[in-house]
Chains A and B, each alone.
Chain A
Amino acid sequence: MSDILTIGDKEIKNRLFIGTGKFPDKAMIKMVLEESKASVVTVALRRIDMKSSNENILDYIPEGCIVMTNTSGARNAKEAIRIARLAKASGAGNWVKIEVITDNKYLLPDNEETIKATETLSKEGFIVLAYMNPDLIVARRLVRAGASAIMPLGSPIGSNRGFKTEEIVKIMASEIKAPIIVDAGIGKPSDAARCMEIGCEAVLVNTAIATAEDPVSMAKAFSGAVVAGRLAYTSGMGRATEQANASSPLTGFLR
């Protein structure tokens, strides 16, 4: 049975999405994307220079890999909308990860502004993936506003702290029909596997891969973990229980 994630009209084979902000050089990004066979990569428009004589990061993205520009740097809906429109106008496509950050200390997203930006951009035909602070009600509003996928954070960006928001994200994964993609804070392949085991549709990783000593191998490790976690989920994992199950049932005498 095929298990392919669909967002917008695109089929996504590899459920590991890769971020590009922290790599030492662009050639490395290319290697990572090729070797991990990534299907989706996110690039900050703030870093793309279409006019420049210098090489452009987009030149390093393998064919067939979906580019999702992100609105990194936006401090409100208005700026996120402006960045998304610029991205589209400059030929970077209509996939956008909305990222609105009004707190530069922890880099936590502003859910309210994200809803506003999602509403406007999805009406304009963008495929919106909304980066957010995990919250079921906000996720519902984002879906209503037209988001194609919801991207709750696992822990603060760049922290490598792992999947700390699991309880809330798990509720979101079971209640929200749109794909839930855990973005930010994933530090180890096992964190990524855990996200997938509880029913998330994909995981986005940047820091943990980009700052690894061997980013290419680390990307492969994450890729494998995502596949394993997904397979575990679709295979129907046995429920973990607090206590051992008595092998002789307590009500066995009724038979």
Chain B
Amino acid sequence: MNFYNVYNKYGNFSFDEFFGKVTDEGIKKTLRTEKLNLNHFLTLLSPGAGGYLEDMAKIAHRITVQYFGKAIQLYTPMYLSNYCENECVYCGFNRKNPVHRKKLTLDEVEKEARFIASWGLCHILILTGESREMSPLSYIKSSINILKKYFSSISIEIYPLTEDEYGGLIEAGLDGLTIYQEVYERTAYDRVHLSGPKQDYMFRLNAPERALKKGMRTVSIGSLLGLGGWREEAFFTGLHAQYLKEKFPEAEISVSLPRIRPSSGGFEPEEKVEDASLVQIILALRIFLPRLGITLSTRECSELRENLMPLGVTKISAGSTTKVGGHTIKTNEGDKPAQFEISDKRGIFEIKDMLLKKGYQPVFKDWMGNG
């Protein structure tokens, strides 16, 4: 039994038919329900529920403050390498894109680490493109060994690994995994992943479970909004999160809801996900899974990020760059988008001040993985 079996149960499910049957009464009843089931969750994702965003927001805000308090955790991503063997139409690292390719030397990893750590940030997310040749596991391990001198919690967002490989990295000091399915809907997945190892849908889908079996503390999953129908994708994201939470109750599961941004590949999403839709997804997820972590990246603009925070967000990135070595190494790339374009360009201290002003405690440290 793995998540694929759960996902498959919805093979013949008609979302449109379900949404068509949602009534105002059903939505109001759902909003009065304390423990939501999957039908309730779908009801909140329905077009009809779009008219109840304010009611949903009040509930979501109350739940978030109750379970997470007025505190937002901060982290920043650090790109180690952008060599990639995949051809994903939406990504700037697509192997066919003529972007400048770079992989940090271990000295450069240390330089970036020292710089980011000087902000006082204790959580780091390291990223690579998918290339076992250019950024092999040994390289990831060596990087973790350096990073653990500077950070108390290290997460990876790299290619999916085997169970034993996750185990090895956890032993080296890793405690978090971020891996987005990008799009759960199978045919859409095949449509946007034209070549490369990422074409293996199943290996990616079951990666969170493999990591959790080895004791990974935190796992972040998600769908890249814009690649498939957002209501369906939000539903599968919630379904996946619920499945992982029930199977691994000791782990912290969170979701991220990235919307497609302009990238150096120039890809335009088939469906534009509006702000109101993003809001509806966050609210539905928060009400469905009250203790779920929700991450918001710098893909979104500063104003929207600030407005979304009280609705259920628990973690935000800051001071981000999607360029390899983007904090300390000067390149000739200019300002063109790298993997994707950053919208909220504020530095960590500006974000910190903003949070305090908004009545939120900026949390720079929330775990000590390698003491």
Contacts and interface: CB of A to CB of B under 8 A. Distances in A.
B349 to A, nearest CB: 10
Contact of B249 (A25, A46, A83, A104): A104
A48 B250 CA distance: 22
A93 interface: no
Interface in A65-123: 73, 75, 82-83, 86, 101-105, 107
Interface string B248-289: 011111000000000000000000000000000000000000
Contacts of A236: none
A1 B222 CA distance: 61
Nearest to A210: B69
A159 B67 CA distance: 8
B70 to A, nearest CB: 4
Interface string B226-247: 0000000000000000000110
Nearest to A208: B66
Interface size class on chain A is 20 to 34
B4 to A, nearest CB: 23
Interface string B60-81: 0000011111110000000000
Contacts of A26: 361
Given A22-B71, A47-B365, A158 B251 contact: no
Interface stretch (A49-57, A133-141, A176-184, A195-203): A49-57
Contacts of B68: 22
Nearest to B242: A105
Contact of B291 (A49, A73, A104): A104
Given A22-B69, A23-B70, A46-B366, A53 B120 contact: yes
A-B residue pairs, 7 tightest by C-beta: A22-B69, A24-B70, A54-B120, A52-B120, A49-B365, A24-B359, A102-B250
13 contacts: A49-B364, A52-B364, A53-B118, A54-B364, A75-B250, A101-B250, A102-B249, A103-B249, A103-B250, A105-B246, A105-B249, A207-B66, A210-B69
Interface of A: 21-26, 45-49, 52-54, 73, 75, 82-83, 86, 101-105, 107, 158-160, 207, 210-211
